[in-house]
Amino acid sequence: MLKFPGGRTHALTFSYDDGIFQDMRLVELFNLYGMKGTFNLNSGIQTKSNTWRNRDVLVRRMEPSVLPDLYAGHEIAAHTLTHPHLYDLSDEALAQELRQDKENLELLFKQNVVGMAYPFGDCDSRICKAVRDQGLLYGRCVETTERFDLPTDPLRWEGTCHHNNPRLMELADQFLAEGEDLRLFYVWGHSYEFDVDRNWEVMEDFCEKLGGREEIWYATNGEMSYG
């Protein structure tokens, strides 16, 4: 039977968007439990003056200069240059949004960018083709499956669940239960949501439950898509 590296049967990955201040706390948590995440960034608007309000929380992006140290050991992926609605863009503008973001991120982080997350979840066959044409291996959607299958089409990669899914811990139990099949737990979200919803304990409990287990491969989205 095919196994993950190290003969492991389970894999866990995370995908978080927009390069915002709350990623600091999230990365600290991932590092504490030896977990790996993928962080999807918009290099054209990555500045702390780029802010918006979500309920009573002022959401701010971080300055690019702090990011390489912060995200060390994790994966950086594209999220387009300026976070537009991709359905509205011409083919040329779409290619430019993807290409320029990938190039900027590769320069800043000195690592290859091999994947992306679709801003607002905008994804169709034209957009997938544009992503593939830029040499990107995968694209993360906002739809989720509540399942642990490996993606059949990595350019339409649907995660297991958003971290706000009320079944998160139940799914974690299901994930850990004995089974023959290779299984991947994929969680996505935005870290500011933990401040907005005042529920950091959701992620703390999840990491505590799934951390330090020898059957689990803790890997980035990119490492999974090479595997």
Going by C-alpha positions, the residue among 223, 222, 218 that lies closest to residue 33 is 218
- Residue span 46-85 as binding mask against Zn ion, x where in contact by CB under 5 A, dash where not: ----------------------------------------
Going by C-alpha positions, the residue among 59, 144, 148, 68 that lies closest to residue 104 is 68
Determine, following the binding rule CB under 5 A, whether residue 17 of this chain makes contact with Zn ion. yes
Going by C-alpha positions, the residue among 110, 33, 41, 34 that lies closest to residue 69 is 110
Query: Considering only residues 18, 158, 193, 195, which one is a binding residue for Zn ion as defined by CB under 5 A?
Result: 18
Number of residues that bind Zn ion (CB under 5 A): 3
Going by C-alpha positions, the residue among 32, 66, 62 that lies closest to residue 48 is 62
Encoded amino acid at 56, one letter: D
104/95 Cα distance (integer angstroms): 14
Stretch near Zn ion under the rule CB under 5 A, chosen from 14-22, 67-75, 170-178, 198-206: 14-22
Determine, following the binding rule CB under 5 A, whether residue 23 of this chain makes contact with Zn ion. no
Nearer to Zn ion, 17 or 223 (CB): 17
Residues in 87-146 at the binding interface with Zn ion, rule: CB under 5 A: 119
Interacting residues toward Zn ion by CB under 5 A: 17-18, 119
